[in-house]
A and B are shown apart, each in its own frame.
Chain A
């Protein structure tokens, strides 16, 4: 996200001296960071520590719990556990992965927030600690299935689920009313297309749909949700790419067609979730997929021009159902942490049912029983009922070590199809052949 891209400058911040620039240029900056990583020597193995002292945690400032929420949690923990001192850092989602990687060898962080697509990579590369032995058996029953799967890879736990999220369908009820569209129609993707056509022909908005289809992970999240609706899957049972087959191709054809028909805003291919929120909140779109957090902000008069008109539904169903993309995140203990016991205590505290319920407006709890608690339902009465239906039906993106590289290949090819430079079939075939070679190596 643009909001906090300063990390990029931090990453390449080494300013060469004048002579340095002549012999090496600022590439040295990158080289310097590369040099700091890997090849032994640089890092130390983690240690359990005394369970006391200072710990440092890395969070994101974006969807989910706000910076303010997290700072409150930290001070509440501090009050209850004065022997552990926590300092929290925040970066944007787009910078989170690379910050974790760059900080890993120095053991800078004790606790890091990880996305559902990273446990395979971080677990097998020893960036985060295996906490299977610390996991109480009861949690697996008490947490929702999608949450339990989030920090899991190869039968091991690499963290504790904390943000449980998927993409919901948001609509502008005033727009629908103007176009004479019944919200019940939004139950299927076909119905969504009909609604979009009515909104367009009725002149309510020029482009009824807005998506986060920038060349980024956000694109894969939208694609995953459609892939599931059309009955496709990322990988087959033998672990080979399968998205270039029927359902996967249909999902991409669907996406491309909405652009050709002028139903999707052409800025979609340059938009992240925050851009979607902005366009939707300014009343320039009527329908959008986004994470839970958009509900609160799009209905907030300070942030939105359409407060009160924003409604939320479960993701529409396609020919093969309506799975949501598992967009959850977990808190992990860094493998290089010298104070892993203290780090674990902090993780246990902030992921506890009591703390999660308190902040349910920002992010829904991972604990199953919370969804029947009237106090929790009251915090977010519009989203909780939809979440209750949706969170039992989530699909994971591939849990493979080389996920990032595979995702990048898929993002680029999907964009070529969206821009009309390749047919959906051709683009996905090309992505599949790249993915196969990545999965082999």
Chain B
């Protein structure tokens, strides 16, 4: 826009156009980030105005002394690693399939987007029903196909429940991975594969030497997105398990919510929230670096 050499009026017009975005960035992102930091320095125990003691970094110290924090951090890391890995692996596989010349390809592609279009809350409620040990569809299916007629309590024990929540999350979020990868696949020219074939390369080799390197940028972007989303997972857990059984599915975000809103420890909750922000920031930085390297590799 500026490159077209506009006058003073045009510059002002440009500023005007940027204003809504600036308001959003400052109002919705920067203000809460600063404000949360301030709140985290006080021992605030009520939502109502009042004078609350300034405690400096005490809330942060408390977080690191809180044994429950390490437990929920462990759940969160497990959830993040496993769900992101599964979503990526499955997502790439499905995208490769959908990139092949299939009949009614548009239909398959629309079906794949459906889980992602479903609100997480609905998805959670759906899977809570599917997993129900008494009348759930999963036990019904296992019974019908003759695998097992003893009902399994899918959400009944802590570790199994965490894994089953991951499955529900993977079911929903693989869609978005498929779409990113599919977009990436379509930028790879067919002649590369043709040339490889002429040189006698197998399909497998073609996949590792052509597809994967050229997909690296798309993979990196979707990896960032999914890791960050998984790290702050909240709603699917709120709906499916309420953090149970025996706190086995509590994640950092869920724990933060409990402390801040159920227990009204706003200062402590703010400190926890701030640590999530820092963790996510670190993840994003690490990935952005990877992405840059990946692009370089892609160019080579």
Contact = CB atoms under 8 A, between A and B. Distances in A.
A156 interface: no
Contacts of B228: 21, 25-26
Interface in B214-261: 228-229, 231-232, 234-235, 238-239, 241-247, 253, 256-258, 260-261
A39 B121 CA distance: 32
Contacts of A39: 38-39, 42, 44, 49, 52
Given A34-B273, A38-B266, A412-B246, A5 B153 contact: no
B246 A215 contact: yes
A27 B244 contact: no
Contacts of A26: 228-229, 232
A35 B39 contact: yes
A167 to B, nearest CB: 20
Interface string A382-414: 000000000000000000001011001001100
A97 B235 contact: no
Interface stretch (A183-191, A265-273, A312-320): A265-273
Contact of A9 (B44, B119, B134): B119
Contact of B273 (A11, A17, A30, A405): A30
B86 interface: no
Given A40-B51, A97-B262, A336-B48, A216 B253 contact: no
A86 interface: no
Interface in B254-299: 256-258, 260-264, 266, 269-270, 273-274, 276-277, 280-281, 284, 288
A405 B263 contact: yes
A121 interface: yes
A94 B284 contact: no
Interface string A355-372: 000000000000000000
Interface string B49-66: 111100000000000000
B283 to A, nearest CB: 8
Contacts, number: 233
Interface of B: 21, 24-25, 28-29, 31-33, 35-36, 38-39, 42, 44-52, 119-121, 124-125, 128, 132-135, 151, 153, 155-158, 228-229, 231-232, 234-235, 238-239, 241-247, 253, 256-258, 260-264, 266, 269-270, 273-274, 276-277, 280-281, 284, 288
B47 A216 contact: no
Interface string A210-245: 000011100000000000000000000000000000
A127 B24 contact: no
B264 A101 contact: yes
Contacts of B128: 2
A412 B47 contact: no
B28 A32 contact: yes
A146 interface: no
Interface of A: 2, 5-6, 8-9, 11-12, 14, 16-17, 19-28, 30-32, 34-35, 37-45, 94, 97-98, 101-102, 104-105, 121, 125-127, 214-216, 265-267, 269-270, 275, 278-279, 282, 284, 335-336, 402, 404-405, 408, 411-412, 415-416, 419, 421
B78 to A, nearest CB: 18
A21 B52 CA distance: 31
A338 B225 CA distance: 44
A14 B228 CA distance: 15
A24 B264 contact: no
A58 to B, nearest CB: 14
Contacts of A105: 47-49
A270 B247 contact: no
A353 B60 CA distance: 51
A42 B269 contact: no
A161 B292 CA distance: 63
A24 B260 CA distance: 19
Given A8-B235, A8-B238, A27-B253, 9 more contacts: A5-B124, A11-B257, A16-B29, A17-B25, A25-B276, A34-B266, A404-B262, A404-B264, A415-B244
> When A and B form their complex, which 3 residue pairs have the shortest distance between CB atoms, in order from nearest?
A215-B244, A35-B35, A25-B280
Contacts of B256: 30
30 contacts: A5-B238, A6-B121, A11-B261, A16-B29, A20-B28, A22-B288, A24-B29, A24-B277, A24-B281, A25-B276, A27-B232, A28-B32, A28-B277, A30-B253, A30-B257, A35-B32, A35-B38, A38-B39, A101-B261, A126-B50, A127-B47, A215-B241, A215-B243, A266-B153, A267-B133, A267-B153, A270-B245, A282-B135, A284-B134, A419-B245
- Interface centre among A27, A28, A279, by most chain B C-beta atoms within 10 angstroms, is A27
Contact of A22 (B21, B36, B242, B284): B284
Nearest to B48: A126
A43 B49 contact: yes
A336 B120 CA distance: 33
Contacts of A17: 21, 24-25, 28-29
Given A25-B277, A31-B270, A214-B244, A2 B125 contact: yes
A230 B137 CA distance: 38
Nearest to B284: A22
Contacts of A8: 121, 234-235, 238-239
A95 B199 CA distance: 63
